[in-house]
Amino acid sequence: MNMKKKRLKLPPARGAAVWTVVLSVPLLAACDIQAILEVDIPGRVEEGALDNPKLASTLVTGVVSDVECSWNQFTAGMAHHSDEYIPTSGNLDLIRWGERRIENVDVQFSQGLCGGGTYPTYTPLQTARFQGEDVLARLGGETFSGLDGLADLQAVTRTWGTFPLIALGEGFCEMTIPTVEGEPGPLMTKQEVLTVAENKFSEAISMAQAAGNTAMVNTALVGRARVRIGLENYSGAMADAAQVPAGFETIVTRDASESRRWNYYYERLNALTGFRQHGSVSDHYRHLTIDAEGRPTQDDGVPDTRVNVMTNGEPGSDFVTENWFHDKYNSRADPLPLVTYREARMYMAEAAARTGDIAMATDVINERRMAAGLPAMSAPASQSEMVELVIEERRRELFVEGAHRFNDMIRFRGTQFEIPFLGEPGSIHPNGISQKGDVYGTTTCLPLPLVEKNGNPNIP
């Protein structure tokens, strides 16, 4: 029998590949064409299948995983972009991060996926934020009603799902968040995004309290305290931070199984193998000390164990700059903090200093000094001196954690407490030239990606 080959293209589906199927069809023979066309594409999941109570824990785990990955990428990237590291890379993308040359057209920055490239930032954060909203909406649907442990799952989802808003609000010069998921959102200021985050953390606290999940209550309290400091709601920040118990922390888990799960603080700076030594701990973070009178110093007093850095004399990836690294993360699998009691105490100290309570700010700092085995300090004479001391203590206490230093550099910009970026007057590279002779760019806060602007009719 004569046979002809007919090429049939199946229509594409979201998240699925376009399959090309070659069928040998006898032209003169009767056959069930419909049965032939019913092709099962492995891995394709219908959206309605997600509204299955048996998948509730899996959905929530997915939210936590997406937030962990995006938080890891963002916070490690901000160490590279702030003054915590100096640029030592030979990789073009990482050179741009280290020399403040990130632009709104950079594809890796704006469209890269979690675990790939250098520091994909925008898409992973927005993906994690969306997943939190989507899963929370599903959990509130009729099919999940009466599910055992539902209140706890909702509390975890709202709490973890709000942290991307911190990064999107603190890190970017401007932002857009959908008012209705799936529709383009309005252009928003940093303060507007942080206000949304504050409201969602308030929801998270109420949910976690109702569910009896103390860990999520404390996690959301620290998150809201951070947001309230950014909104200059000092009394609110102090009230939140004061409730966090000593030693509390929530971690971002990491492991060495695949790149999405690696600790990028370690991988880009400390790693002895792989994509390593693309930054070096900046000069002004080396040999930090506390003198006999409790003043923060460098090379003059008791070593400050909160910033323990070292070198083996080897060059970084540029083959020029000596590589200095820290011991805070020592493998791809080392976890990193999402929130800690220590940062809550720093919010307490800043809130006290900003409202003129010098005695309380001094007590909080000395409490942290005592925990680190460091000399206590005396209360300064003025409020402005106290604020300066809090900023200095924060850079030491929260070194390479949570993008705190980058956030301080952004929020104090244009004030009397301004912290210069590398390449600016007052920095260790005051003439705009790096230690290897490269010219620094001008990026401070992160730009809203051009692909977002072009695709959003609400943004002029």
User: Cβ(291)–Cβ(300) under 8 Å?
Assistant: yes
pLDDT tens, residue order, the chain (460 aa): 333 333 333 233 333 332 223 323 333 344 443 444 344 444 555 677 788 889 999 999 999 999 999 999 999 999 999 999 999 988 888 899 999 999 999 999 999 999 877 899 999 999 999 999 999 999 999 999 999 999 999 999 999 999 999 999 999 999 999 999 989 999 999 999 999 999 999 999 999 999 999 999 999 999 999 999 999 999 999 999 999 999 999 999 999 999 999 999 998 887 665 556 888 999 999 999 999 999 999 999 999 999 999 998 888 888 889 989 999 999 999 999 999 999 999 999 999 999 999 999 999 999 999 999 999 999 999 999 999 999 999 999 999 999 999 999 999 999 999 999 999 999 999 999 999 999 999 999 999 999 999 999 999 8
Rounded Cα distance between 192 and 185, Å, is 13
| Residue environment code for 350-369, b if the CB has 16+ CB neighbours within 10 A, otherwise e | bbbbbeebbebbbebbbebb
In this prediction, residue 115 carries a pLDDT of 82
Whole-angstrom distance between the N-terminal and C-terminal Cα of the chain? Answer: 64
Give me 447's structure tokens.
Answer: 């730009």
In this prediction, residue 21 carries a pLDDT of 30
Rounded Cα distance between 76 and 97, Å, is 11
Rounded Cα distance between 20 and 136, Å, is 37
In this prediction, residue 314 carries a pLDDT of 85
In this prediction, residue 78 carries a pLDDT of 96
Give me 139's structure tokens.
Answer: 């959990």
In this prediction, residue 25 carries a pLDDT of 33
Helix axes 341-354, 214-230, angle to 10 degrees: 40
